[in-house]
Amino acid sequence: MSFYALQADRTAAMLAATPGWRRLLALRPDLDDDTAAAILGEAARIAEGVVAPLNARADRVGCRIEAGRVRTPEGYADAYRQLGEGGWLAMDAPEAHGGQGLPVTLQAACQPLFERACIAFMMAAGSAHAAVQLLHEVADADTAAEWIPRLATGEWAATICISEPDAGSDVGRIRTRAARAGDGWTVTGEKIWISFGDHDMTPRIGHCLLARTGDAPGTRGLSLFLVPNTRVDGSANAITVQRIEEKLGLHGSPTCALAFEGAEAVLLGAEGRGLPQLFAMIEMMRLSTACQGLGVASGACDTARAYAAERRQGGDPAAPAVPILAHADVRRQILDMEARTEVLRLAILELATAMDLARCEPDPAVAADHAAFAAWMLPLAKNFGGETGFDVASRAIQVLGGAGYTREWPVEQALRDTRIVSIYEGTTGMQALDFLTRRLWRDEGRGLALFLARAHAEIAAAQPQQAEAATALADLLGRFERLSSEMMALRNDPRAGELASDGYLRAAWCALTGWMALRLAAPSLPTPLAGLSAWRLAGLAAEFEAHAARCRLPAALADAPFAAG
Amino acid sequence: MSFYALQADRTAAMLAATPGWRRLLALRPDLDDDTAAAILGEAARIAEGVVAPLNARADRVGCRIEAGRVRTPEGYADAYRQLGEGGWLAMDAPEAHGGQGLPVTLQAACQPLFERACIAFMMAAGSAHAAVQLLHEVADADTAAEWIPRLATGEWAATICISEPDAGSDVGRIRTRAARAGDGWTVTGEKIWISFGDHDMTPRIGHCLLARTGDAPGTRGLSLFLVPNTRVDGSANAITVQRIEEKLGLHGSPTCALAFEGAEAVLLGAEGRGLPQLFAMIEMMRLSTACQGLGVASGACDTARAYAAERRQGGDPAAPAVPILAHADVRRQILDMEARTEVLRLAILELATAMDLARCEPDPAVAADHAAFAAWMLPLAKNFGGETGFDVASRAIQVLGGAGYTREWPVEQALRDTRIVSIYEGTTGMQALDFLTRRLWRDEGRGLALFLARAHAEIAAAQPQQAEAATALADLLGRFERLSSEMMALRNDPRAGELASDGYLRAAWCALTGWMALRLAAPSLPTPLAGLSAWRLAGLAAEFEAHAARCRLPAALADAPFAAG
């Protein structure tokens, strides 16, 4: 059985053990566990057969500009077409718009298989997926009817254009301006960090773009536009590809700087409401980055384990060397990698089911609870999805030793590709601020309370079978609750809060990890996962306290002088 | 003042605050603090002026094979000549052999300046330095007289050839064979991972090589040889460059596979004693890897801080954006990076002074104590030097955000270059085994006892000024002592020990970090370092407990099944 198929099976088993999924099935009689497993199996087949063959070439050959247009590596266009035809680009879009009407959960369950295969190529799919959602929510009927089905089938493509040279995390400093021109609009400005900002896979690319339509400062003057790179007749709109960034990794994803010079544009939604309108899509993109980290981590685990089963070193010098997988320290390394990876997998499924239930629970109060809980989990999944992908890739290099440092093995590419995941779609610092100032302070701890209630309920249910772990986890949740009270008390001291925010985010991830690690030992899951549970729980409370201690540092330390300069 | 000069000044101040250095000055009346500061200042000038300009080109252009020989990037040969002429290649070699007769401590103090400038290029210097030491200790008088002065001045170069395709960490599986031929020897076999295994910087390269001379299994049949790539008349010895490895980083250091096909060789030292003879040199190379990590970390800190002082984002949207260095979370990130870097700097100086005092304390018992303490510290400095370099480089990327992920800034190269440091010269796993099975079990805890005595004495002395930190640290040392007793009790269960060894190594680094972080706050050091002390101490005991908890996992968990396969 291939590693992809094994990953699909493991995901299906975990999905079945996720309470939110059980509830979702009750609300969606058209779905069941077998259907989910079949979809996962097919995703594994396509990921391995169609997408994975692109990965090494994507990295080695990369993308280049020829005659002002971006050329992608051989095989991209065909693979993109196959993803579109198979319905993989917009699984969760409504059927009326060319999607499959599946829950976000199935999208999030399948996506790591594709990301594992080639994260760089899948950046194009991610943009299409985000644009479908955005257009579905805010585009007028004609625009939606024109674009969404074509994006869903891969006939056309899309990008999301937010950043500018002076507007990265600080979106409110966007300078690109939109002006009325006849019935429509034109857009002028420079956008950077545009993934697949241009390419040769589809005849048309729609840029979803934030531009300034008023003089209100900050984000209030921003509106959302669709700016196609060509008109329907194929003639070019006024957009120039300025360069492709030279990056550490993701060479197979052309990160473009684009100049818009009076380009024709269609307003999406209401003027001045650009940023709030983007939010739902940004949430989906943050879930998506977690899937990227998970996909790469999954592949790195399997590469490390397979290498360790083959590579022979050590043992009695008078006898043939033993596979390094026989050495306790090598086993520890791999079990540790797997434990981190499988905890992340459960966390993503938990989050995705909450996002689905927020949309389809009939009782609005219950739906709102799911929404608050999902908003609370999202910065955690976003940040630690990315960090876990990078960390597990780095650990895989360590297992392979010198070999892992060479291009003979895919783990060095995994390391390079994943380093950006905790930067784009909101850096760690932005996630930490969101988690503290919006989820805790502004939402008055609603998401936190829901987390504690859900985790405590599951712990109580596990108490009879897993008394020791359950008790330890209840204690950890208590510590987290106390720390959260301390963080709440910083509400009137935003600078102290900002200083503590990173530690608080990490402490929260420990608490969430504990819950998911307990779930790994659920009787319905395959036995090996229970062993991983113990690996992940060991030292977790101490890890939590290390982060908590940093939350408690005096705020004055932020103004300490630096060692040099 | 340049960042290099600031780093030199900071190093000089820390050196002056290192007790072992004070003792060394008492034993070496020819040296004083001013001389050390002057040498550091000159090293900074050469590193910045001569070596640093090579770094970007080393990475971009790399090395290639032309007509069977390795070509290095433009400027390498001239820079190597300047290092040799300036006496930087063998500062600590005896003057009789063309060295400067300086303590290892000054070598270790200066080296991070050069590594910061271009770690890849400095791999050549590292090999020459190691070979000088090796030949000084084991070569016959004629060989020593022929080679050492020329290596010290950079006229000739050298390599260290240990690994083979089936002999990495498991040195005892070396297959390369040496055979007697007339008065001398010939060597036949394949060696891999040879840094600067060939190049065009010097007319002659001497390969220091382990080969099998007897039928004793494992390491007992290994002897040490010098295998020059050319004879004195310039004719070629039977050595072929098979390839340069394609690596994640260190592109400016040609990592060669070499085939020896009956190559003429000179025996170094006693037959069958190859590996023990290598040990002193391996110790020096492990210290050297710690300096590599420190050098790159130092540069990454300064790049991040300088970027953060320039890059403007955030603040009141109606006003110009503020430098991101004004944000508490960005300050935290940089202070944290600096704290980790400066603790490592103090640790390296502590270790290097112990290595010097082991050689020059007149009382053999005192000298032996220093040797035991240095042997105890070495795996810690080796491993966490490398890990800190990589970790701080990664944190620097985070501060720079998207920019840090591009080749416009040097931090992505720093990340790539440093990933190998905790792999070569003994992986983390090898260091952890050395630390547990040799330093604790075999040496009966001698190095540990010396560490505890020294650290406790310094803590007691700091108690009046730093009561809180001193008390917390005394507590941490107590925890470490208890954990060490538990680890000692595993002596008869090597597999349980191996499983715990990584956690124990990390716990020990926490204990050592605590001691060095306390020293950062020494009144004689510049004030900013005291602030870093608080940053590093926060949560350290909890971090220790997280590692300790993993040491205490049941050994049976090592045999747990994997998630897949």
How remote is the C-alpha of B538 from its chain's centroid? 26
Note which residues in 544-563 of chain A have CB less than 8 A from chain B: 544-550, 552-553, 555, 557-563
Domain boundaries, chain B: 3-152, 158-274, 277-558
CA distance B516 to B514: 6
Nearest to B273 by CA among B138, B178, B438, B371: B138
pLDDT at A69 over 90: yes
Which residues in chain A are closer than 8 Å to B548, comparing Cβ atoms? 539, 542
Residue B420 contacts residue B292 (beta carbons within 8 Å): no
Q: Which residues contact A173 (CB under 8 A, 6 or more apart)?
A: A164, A166, A167, B313, B317, B321
A416 shares contact with chain B (CB less than 8 Å): yes
- pLDDT value for B280: 82
- pLDDT value for A540: 98
pLDDT in tens, B364-382: 999 999 999 999 999 999 9
A245 shares contact with chain B (CB less than 8 Å): yes
Q: Superfamily assignment of A3-152 in CATH?
A: Acyl-CoA dehydrogenase/oxidase, N-terminal domain (1.10.540.10)
Tell me which of B213-222, B440-449, B458-467 is least confident.
B213-222
pLDDT at A244 over 70: yes
Note which residues in 490-509 of chain B have CB less than 8 A from chain A: 495-496, 498-499, 501-502
CA distance B149 to B95: 9
What 3-state class would DSSP assign to B526? Answer: coil
Which residues in chain A are closer than 8 Å to B420, comparing Cβ atoms? 402, 405
Residue A561 contacts residue B527 (beta carbons within 8 Å): yes
Place of tokens 């994006």: A151
Q: Which two tokens stand for residue A540?
A: 């977790």
CA distance A5 to B129: 51
Angle at B421 between CA B420 and CA B423, to 5 degrees: 65
pLDDT in tens, A518-534: 999 999 999 999 989 99
CA distance A72 to A171: 29
- pLDDT value for A565: 60
Angle at B104 between CA B224 and CA B170, to 5 degrees: 35
- pLDDT value for B488: 98
pLDDT at B561 over 70: yes
Report, as residue numbers or ranges, the catalytic residues of A. Answer: 425
How many angstroms away from the CA of B131 is the closest CA of chain A? 22
pLDDT in tens, A321-333: 999 999 999 999 9
Q: Which two tokens stand for residue A504?
A: 């608080």
CATH 2.40.110.20 for the B158-274 domain, yes or no: yes
- What does the pLDDT average to over A378-389? 98
How remote is the C-alpha of B437 from its chain's centroid? 21
What 3-state class would DSSP assign to A169? Answer: coil
pLDDT at B272 over 80: yes
Query: Taking the CB of residue B91, how many other CB atoms lie within 10 A of it?
Result: 23
Residue B83 contacts residue B127 (beta carbons within 8 Å): no
pLDDT in tens, B156-186: 999 999 999 999 989 999 999 999 999 999 9
pLDDT at A346 over 80: yes
Nearest to A115 by CA among A347, A389, A479, A432: A389
Taking CA atoms, what residue in A is nearest to B317?
Answer: A218
CATH 2.40.110.20 for the A158-276 domain, yes or no: yes
- pLDDT value for A217: 85
pLDDT at A160 over 70: yes
Q: Across the interface, do B247 and A406 touch by the CB < 8 Å criterion?
A: yes
A565 shares contact with chain B (CB less than 8 Å): yes
Q: Is the dihedral of CA B23, B24, B27, B28 positive or negative?
A: negative
CATH 3.40.50.300 for the B277-558 domain, yes or no: no
CA distance A448 to B459: 41
Write the residue in B173, B338, B552 that is nearest to A562 by C-beta: B338
- pLDDT value for B470: 96
A10 shares contact with chain B (CB less than 8 Å): yes
Write the residue in A321, A539, A560 that is nearest to B549 by C-beta: A539
- pLDDT value for B565: 60
Note which residues in 142-171 of chain A have CB less than 8 A from chain B: 163, 166-170
A439 shares contact with chain B (CB less than 8 Å): no
A117 shares contact with chain B (CB less than 8 Å): no
Backbone angles phi, psi at A215, to 5 degrees: -95, 0
Q: Could you give the C-alpha distances from A268 to A168, A210, A227, A348, B355, in angstroms and in order?
A: 22, 10, 10, 30, 69
- pLDDT value for A546: 98
Which residues in chain B are closer than 8 Å to A312, comparing Cβ atoms? 166
pLDDT at A146 over 90: yes
What 3-state class would DSSP assign to A134? Answer: helix
CA distance A334 to A392: 9
A275 burial type by CB count under 10 A (0-12 exposed, 13-18 middle, 19+ buried) = buried
% chain B with pLDDT above 70? 100
Mean pLDDT of chain A: 96
pLDDT in tens, A438-493: 999 999 999 999 999 999 999 999 999 999 999 999 999 999 999 999 999 999 99
What 3-state class would DSSP assign to B175? Answer: coil
Question: Binning pLDDT at 50, 70 and 90, where does residue A564 land?
Answer: confident
% chain A with pLDDT above 90? 95
A3 shares contact with chain B (CB less than 8 Å): yes
A319 shares contact with chain B (CB less than 8 Å): no
A2 shares contact with chain B (CB less than 8 Å): no
3-state SS, one letter per residue, for A203-243? CCEEEEEEEECCCCCHHHHEEEEEEECECCCCCECCEEEEE
Place of tokens 């008065």: B183
pLDDT at A191 over 80: yes
* Chain A interface, best mutation among B509, B557, B559, by max A CB count within 10 A: B557
Q: Across the interface, do A306 and B6 touch by the CB < 8 Å criterion?
A: no
Q: Which residues contact B79 (CB under 8 A, 6 or more apart)?
A: B50, B51, B54, B121
% chain A with pLDDT above 70? 100
pLDDT in tens, B2-42: 999 999 999 999 999 999 999 999 999 999 999 999 999 99
Residue A268 contacts residue A277 (beta carbons within 8 Å): yes
What 3-state class would DSSP assign to B181? Answer: strand
State which amino acid sits at residue B146. Answer: E
Residue B243 contacts residue B221 (beta carbons within 8 Å): no
Contact pairs from chain A to chain B, CB under 8 Å? 300
